[in-house]
Each structure stands twice: as C-alpha cells, then as structure tokens.
C-alpha cells in the first residue's frame, strides 16, 4: 500500500481496528490473515455459520473450500462435502455497488484483508466498510447464474445439524406490532385464497413426507421478542403512494423487476439490520396495492438498496412471475401472502395458504411456482410450489385458540413449498403479541407424518395466471 501519513494513516489504523472487531468470531481467537499474498488455496477465514438454518458456529475452513460448490449456499454454514484437496481457484466478483472499493490488489484471486485495508484508505470507501466485510465473508458463485437456477438457494443439510432459531421462551425485546395491510392479498378466486381440503392426494404424497421427515416437528419460524438481535420472523412495512422511489441494484437482475422501489431507508429487514440470513424486505404500497419484495437486501449510504433479487406484485391481479423467474423467494412466489399474521389469528380465521420450507427440493416447479433452486432430480424430492395440507383427521381440540386457528388454516388452505431451508419451517410475521411457548407446542405436537401433499393441478385455469377454479 506504500507509506501514508497524517489523516490517511489515522483512517487506516482506525479502520484496521474496526476490521479486527468485525472479523472476530463470537468466541475464540481473533483471526487476521497475513498481509502478504497467502498460499493460494488455504487462506484461513472465519465462516459465519447461519444459525437460523445450520446451527454451525466458529467453523474454520479454507477460502477456496468456502467458495467451491456445494458449500456455496445462502446459508453459509453448510459444511458437508468440503473438498479437502481443492483443485481450482474461484473467481471473486465484486458486488455492483462497490466496484471501486473491493479489488483484488495483490492478485491472489481472493478478497482478503490486504484488499480490505487498501479500500479503507480510498476516498468514499470507508462508508461501505460493513458491506465490504460482508463481501469478504460471503461466497461468490463461480459460474454465471442462469434463469433456471438460483444456486444460492440450494441447501445440502446434514443429519447432525440442529436448527437454532427456535423462538426464545423469554423474549428479550418487543418489536412494534406491524401495521394493518390496507389491501386484499390477491383476488378471492386466486390460488392463494382457494381451499384445498377436498382435493385428491398427490401420488407421491407419502414419499415427499418421508423425504422431508415424517418425525420432524412443525416449527413456527416466527414469534415475539428478539433472537440474535433481530425479530423472529419475516417483517413487512406499509408505505403511502408518496413514498420516494429509490434505485435498486440486483445480483440476479435478469430475473428481477427493475427499480426504483418505494423502500425507505428504515425498512425492516428479516433478522435485523445486521443479519447474515435471507434478509427479506417486504413493502406494501397503499393506494395502488403494489407489493415489493427483495432478498439479501442491504441499504447503502446514498439511499439506494442492493439486493440479490427483487419482485413487484400487483395485489389486485392474478399475474404470475415470468416463467422460469425467481422472486424474493426461490419458488418465484410472493412471500407476504403466505405469512402467519397475528391480526388474522386474533380475528379467528386465516383464509389463505401459508408458506414453508424443506431442506431438499427437486429441480422442478409446479403451478403456481415459477422457479426451482436445486440440482436434485429424484422423484422423492418435492418440487417448488408443491402444496401440503394437515390431515383432516388430525385432532386439534387440545391446542390453544391461537394454534387452532393456524392448524385449521393448514387443513383448509394448506401451505406452499416456497424455499429451501429447514424442514417444516412455517413462516410468519414478528409480533410482540405472540406467545412463544404456545407456538413451540406446534413443534412438539405436530409432525411431518400429519401432513399430506395434494394435487391442485385441476384448479388451474391458465398456467400463467394465479386465478383458480372453484374446488370440487
């Protein structure tokens, strides 16, 4: 970097101290890679395991192992199948938002501490330090993504992984209750709002259930309070039609609706502002009832947002995403319509389908989904968009009124397979009014074997529309 004096030196050493703090793991020694060009394949880095899906913490791997598939997933902590003898060097592509701030200065094909230190003394780069650190810690694909596959959504779980994002029994915070949604979430005859309790079973129903896990519990991935510093669940915000529009930059621009989007700088982010998870941002614009959703969402100092992908939905329409396109969800579906919301539960009924995740999906999608996110082709894996319902004979009489509303909705409307993640994780909105202990009873009392997959193909009127026939 050469000799620097005065203010630049002060900025450099201040930044280096901050860098050491940000790179330090929660426990264990601080790791600072050498300033000299490291051995090509074995620069040791801290892998920030995503607790919400992997339970992995304080794991050390080589930089190349981190960047080499199948480890390259949005849930960084998947350690299965690490290549002990890497044979290639990954290509690191800086994010569009900071091309001048993240450069491979020493030409070793990795973004390492020397590169970050160089960025610290570049004009305008100090403000991007958190994003620069995220880029250094975050894997980057070695191939150009195609319109038919989003590799960052594929999860390869191991049997020993124990998800840790269980709602806390004693919440440590009270998030502000979400605003009322001023619009209907799609027309009444949309497939999201259509009952499926009379539909026939999918021929592969039992196989799918066994693949996902017949003994696994139904996990309410939402609740009250905070976990790891962030709200439990996927939040949303409602903005007026006068909300200023801001520029958007997307990793998967070819499958994203271009900006600008009406996302305020203070928009709630899934998992909190410092989350390393999916970081969904959901915005409903009142007046015209437009829904804007982004994944891997990061605010920037100039007011714009950087995200992995983004999608806009007209809530008054049946329109689906273009065929083969992702959304903020791997299945190409909207997220907000599938969330469990406290206000609906309090009203006594949820009258729409819900959203859930499983660890492994097939390289396929079925209506109304538009996208797959897997390389697995076996018929035992459910496709994106597969709909499941709670069996009609499952006795819900012993559950609380809150859980009875949720379980009744699962019997009548079921839930869409929308993303790769942990098994039987049901999505919902954070709310201070949830009782986490009560929600936890779903996990201990409702299991995969209590669900069945249904065939809803007979409800389709048009493969490019979400409008549905009346069920038999």
Half-sphere exposure of 444 (CA within 13 A, CB side): 8
SS3 label, residue 228: coil
pLDDT-based confidence at 457, cuts 50/70/90?
very high
SS3 label, residue 9: helix
Q: What is the pLDDT of residue 222?
A: 97
Shared domain for 340 and 392, answered yes or no, is: yes
Higher pLDDT, 123 or 8: 123
Shared domain for 130 and 178, answered yes or no, is: no
Q: What is the pLDDT of residue 177?
A: 78
The pLDDT of residue 81 is above 60: no
Shared domain for 65 and 167, answered yes or no, is: no
Report the DSSP pairing between strands 237-239 and 281-285: parallel
Shared domain for 113 and 248, answered yes or no, is: no
Shared domain for 318 and 190, answered yes or no, is: yes
Shared domain for 166 and 24, answered yes or no, is: no
pTM of the model: 0.68
Shared domain for 174 and 300, answered yes or no, is: yes
CA angle 275, 281, 283 (to 5 degrees): 155
Task: Quote the percentage of the chain above a pLDDT of 90.
Answer: 61
Shared domain for 123 and 20, answered yes or no, is: yes
Whole-number mean pLDDT of the chain? 76
For residue range 413-434, list pLDDT tens digits in order.
Answer: 999 999 999 999 999 999 999 9
In sequence order, what DSSP letters do the residues of 288-319 get, joined into one string?
Answer: TTEEEEEES-EE-TTS-EEESEEEEEETTS-B
Residue 472 maps to a domain: no
Number of domains in the chain: 2
Shared domain for 251 and 102, answered yes or no, is: no
The pLDDT of residue 93 is above 60: no
Alpha-carbon gap, residue 412 to 210, rounded angstroms: 22
Shared domain for 177 and 101, answered yes or no, is: no
Residue 281 maps to a domain: yes
For residue range 331-390, list pLDDT tens digits in order.
Answer: 999 999 999 999 999 999 999 999 999 999 999 999 999 999 999 999 999 999 999 999
| Residue 248 host element (H or E) | strand 248-250
- The winner for highest mean pLDDT among 8-17, 19-28, 63-72, 307-316 is 307-316
CB-based contact 366:383 (threshold 8 Å): yes
Residue 283 maps to a domain: yes
Q: Which of 137, 169, 198 is the last residue of a domain?
A: 137
Shared domain for 108 and 173, answered yes or no, is: no
For residue range 159-217, list pLDDT tens digits in order.
Answer: 333 333 433 333 444 446 789 999 999 999 999 999 999 999 999 999 999 999 999 99
Q: What is the pLDDT of residue 181?
A: 95
Phi and psi at 119, nearest 5°, equal: -65, -30
Residue 144 maps to a domain: no
Residue 77 maps to a domain: yes
The pLDDT of residue 330 is above 90: yes
Shared domain for 133 and 156, answered yes or no, is: no
Residue 470 maps to a domain: no
Q: Which of 114, 137, 160 is the last residue of a domain?
A: 137
What is the pLDDT averaged over residues 86-105?
43
Task: Quote the percentage of the chain above a pLDDT of 70.
Answer: 63
Domain that residue 14 falls in? 6-137
Q: Which of 107, 137, 167 is the last residue of a domain?
A: 137
Residue 78 CA: distances (Å) to CA of 73, 110, 323: 7, 20, 29
Residue 17 maps to a domain: yes
Alpha-carbon gap, residue 11 to 13, rounded angstroms: 6
Residue 1 maps to a domain: no
Q: What is the pLDDT of residue 131?
A: 59
In sequence order, what DSSP letters do the residues of 148-195 get, joined into one string?
Answer: TB-GGG-----TT-----PPPSS-S--PPPPPPP-S-SS-TTBGGG--
- The winner for highest mean pLDDT among 18-22, 36-40, 446-450 is 446-450
What is the pLDDT averaged over residues 122-144?
51
**Which range is least confidently modeled, 94-98, 102-106, 250-254?**
94-98
């Amino acid at each position: 970097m050469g000799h620097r004096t005065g203010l630049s030196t002060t900025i450099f050493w201040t930044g280096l101290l901050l860098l050491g703090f940000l790179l330090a793991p929660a426990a264990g020694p601080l790791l600072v890679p050498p300033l000299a060009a490291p051995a090509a394949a074995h620069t040791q880095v801290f892998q920030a395991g995503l607790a919400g899906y992997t339970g992995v913490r304080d794991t050390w791997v080589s930089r190349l192992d981190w960047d080499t598939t199948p480890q390259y997933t949005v849930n960084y902590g998947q350690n299965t199948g690490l290549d002990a003898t890497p044979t290639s060097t990954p290509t690191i592509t800086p994010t569009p938002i900071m091309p001048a701030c993240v450069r491979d200065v020493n030409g070793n094909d990795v973004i390492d501490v020397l590169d970050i230190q160089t960025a610290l003394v570049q004009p305008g780069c100090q403000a991007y330090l958190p994003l620069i650190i995220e880029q250094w810690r975050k894997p980057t694909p070695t191939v150009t993504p195609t319109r038919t596959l989003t590799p960052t959504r594929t999860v390869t779980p191991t049997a020993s992984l124990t998800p840790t994002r269980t709602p806390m029994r004693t919440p440590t915070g009270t998030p502000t209750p979400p605003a009322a949604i001023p619009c209907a979430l799609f027309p009444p005859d949309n497939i999201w709002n259509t009952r499926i309790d009379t539909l026939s079973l999918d021929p592969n129903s039992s196989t799918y259930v066994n693949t996902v896990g017949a003994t696994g519990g139904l996990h309410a991935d939402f609740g009250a309070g905070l976990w790891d510093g962030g709200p439990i669940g996927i939040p949303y915000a409602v903005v007026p039609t006068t909300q200023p529009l801001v520029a958007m930059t997307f990793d998967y621009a070819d499958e994203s609706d271009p900006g600008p989007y009406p996302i305020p700088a203070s928009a709630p982010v899934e998992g909190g502002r410092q989350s390393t998870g999916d970081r969904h941002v959901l915005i409903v614009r009142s007046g015209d009832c437009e829904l804007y959703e982004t994944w891997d969402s990061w605010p920037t100092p100039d007011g714009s947002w950087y995200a992995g992908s983004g999608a806009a939905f007209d809530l008054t329409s049946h329109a689906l995403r273009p065929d083969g396109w992702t959304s903020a969800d791997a299945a190409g579906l909207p997220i907000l319509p599938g969330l469990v919301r406290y206000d609906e539960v309090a009203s006594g009924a949820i009258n729409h389908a819900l959203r859930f995740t499983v660890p492994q999906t097939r390289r396929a999608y079925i209506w109304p989904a538009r996208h797959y996110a897997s390389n697995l082709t076996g018929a035992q894996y459910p496709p994106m968009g597969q709909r499941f319902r709670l069996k009609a004979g499952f006795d819900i009489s012993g559950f609380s009124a809150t859980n009875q509303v949720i379980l009744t909705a699962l019997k009548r409307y079921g839930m869409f397979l929308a993303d790769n993640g942990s098994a039987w994780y049901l999505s919902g909105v954070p709310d201070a009014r949830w009782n986490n202990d009560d929600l936890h009873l779903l996990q201990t009392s409702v299991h995969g074997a209590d669900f069945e997959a249904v065939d809803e193909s007979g409800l389709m009127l048009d493969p490019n529309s979400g409008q549905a026939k009346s069920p038999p």
